[in-house]
Amino acid sequence: SKAKMIVDKSFRISEIDPRIYGSFIEHLGRAVYGGIYEASHPDADPAGFRNDVKQLIRELNVPIIRYPGGNFVSGYNWEDGVGPVENRPKRLELAWRTVEPNYVGTNEFVKWAQEVGSEVMMAVNLGTRGVDAARNLLEYCNHPGGSYWSDLRRSHGYEQPHRIKTWCLGNEMDGPWQIGQKTPQEYGRLAYETAKAMRLIDPSIELVSCGSSSTGMPTFPEWEAVTLDHTYEVADYVSLHQYYGNRDGDSANFLARTMDMEHFIKTVAATCDYVKAKKRSKKTMYLSFDEWNVWYHSNDADAKIEPWTIGPPQLEDIYNFEDALLVGSMLITMLRHADRVKMACLAQLVNVIAPIMTENGGRAWKQTIFYPYMHASLYGRGVSLQPIVDSPRYDAQDYTDVPYLDTAVVYNEAEEEVTIFAVNRNLNEALDLECDVRSFEGYRLVEHIVMEHEDLKAVNTAAEEKVKPHSGGGASLRDGYLTGRLAKASWNVMRLK
Give the residue numbers annotated as catalytic, written as ranges: 172, 291
**8 A C-beta contact, residue 168 and residue 210:** yes
Q: Dihedrals φ, ψ of 61, to 5°?
A: 50, 60
Minimal distance, residue 295 CB to ligand AHR, in Å: 7
> Which positions ≥6 away from 206 have C-beta within 8 Å?
165, 166, 167, 236, 237
Q: Which of 172, 202, 224, 406 touches ligand AHR by CB under 6 A?
A: 172
Interface region with ligand AHR, contact rule CB under 6 A, candidates 63-71, 97-105, 217-225, 254-262: 63-71
Minimal distance, residue 31 CB to ligand AHR, in Å: 9
CA 421 to chain centre: 18
By CB under 6 A, residue 174 contacts ligand AHR: no
Minimal distance, residue 348 CB to ligand AHR, in Å: 6
C-beta closer to ligand AHR: residue 172 or 224: 172
Minimal distance, residue 427 CB to ligand AHR, in Å: 28
- Residues binding ligand AHR: what is the number (CB under 6 A)? 9
Q: Dihedrals φ, ψ of 218, to 5°?
A: -60, -25
Eight-class DSSP state of 459: B
By CB under 6 A, residue 317 contacts ligand AHR: no
C-beta closer to ligand AHR: residue 295 or 443: 295
Rounded-to-10 torsion of CA 457, 460, 466, 467: 70
Q: Which of 22, 35, 63, 70 touches ligand AHR by CB under 6 A?
A: 70
Residue 350 CA to residue 372 CA, distance in Å, equals: 16
**8 A C-beta contact, residue 255 and residue 216:** no
Q: Which 333-352 positions form the footprint of ligand AHR (CB under 6 A)? A: 347-348
> Regarding beta strands 405-412 and 383-385, do their DSSP bridges make them parallel or antiparallel, or are they unpaired?
antiparallel
Minimal distance, residue 479 CB to ligand AHR, in Å: 48
Residue length of the chain:
497
Minimal distance, residue 118 CB to ligand AHR, in Å: 17
Q: Quick one: angle between helices 321-336 and 258-278, nearest 10? A: 30
> Which positions ≥6 away from 146 have C-beta within 8 Å?
none
Minimal distance, residue 71 CB to ligand AHR, in Å: 4
By CB under 6 A, residue 298 contacts ligand AHR: no
Minimal distance, residue 412 CB to ligand AHR, in Å: 31
By CB under 6 A, residue 290 contacts ligand AHR: no
By CB under 6 A, residue 22 contacts ligand AHR: no
**Alpha helices for 67-221 (secondary structure H):** 106-115, 131-142, 148-155, 184-201
By CB under 6 A, residue 26 contacts ligand AHR: yes
Interface region with ligand AHR, contact rule CB under 6 A, candidates 66-74, 124-132, 149-157, 474-482: 66-74
Minimal distance, residue 333 CB to ligand AHR, in Å: 19
Residue 438 sits at the vertex; the CA angle it makes with 437 and 439, to the nearest 5 degrees, is 95
Q: Which of 106, 142, 171, 426 touches ligand AHR by CB under 6 A?
A: 171
Interface region with ligand AHR, contact rule CB under 6 A, candidates 69-77, 229-237, 256-264, 425-433: 69-77
By CB under 6 A, residue 291 contacts ligand AHR: yes
**8 A C-beta contact, residue 261 and residue 242:** yes
Interface region with ligand AHR, contact rule CB under 6 A, candidates 67-75, 162-170, 444-452, 469-477: 67-75
By CB under 6 A, residue 322 contacts ligand AHR: no
Q: Which of 5, 60, 71, 410 touches ligand AHR by CB under 6 A?
A: 71
Interface region with ligand AHR, contact rule CB under 6 A, candidates 68-76, 141-149, 192-200, 280-288: 68-76
Interface region with ligand AHR, contact rule CB under 6 A, candidates 53-61, 65-73, 84-92, 399-407: 65-73
C-beta closer to ligand AHR: residue 258 or 348: 348
> Which positions ≥6 away from 380 have C-beta within 8 Å?
16, 21, 331, 335, 408, 410, 419, 421
Helix (H) or strand (E) holding 358: strand 356-358
Instruction: Specify the long-range contacts of residues 88-93, CB closer than 8 Å, at least 24 apart.
Output: 92/308, 93/27
* SS3 of 259-319: HHHHHHHHHHHHHHHHHHHHCCCCCCCEEEEEEEEECCCCHHHHHCCCCCCCCCCCCCCCC
Residue 80 CA to residue 3 CA, distance in Å, equals: 56
> Regarding beta strands 119-124 and 64-67, do their DSSP bridges make them parallel or antiparallel, or are they unpaired?
parallel
In the bound state, the residue with its beta carbon closest to ligand AHR is 70
By CB under 6 A, residue 288 contacts ligand AHR: no
C-beta closer to ligand AHR: residue 317 or 417: 317
Coil/strand/helix, residue 24: strand
Coil/strand/helix, residue 436: strand
- Please give the residue ranges that form the binding site for ligand AHR (CB under 6 A): 26, 69-71, 171-172, 291, 347-348
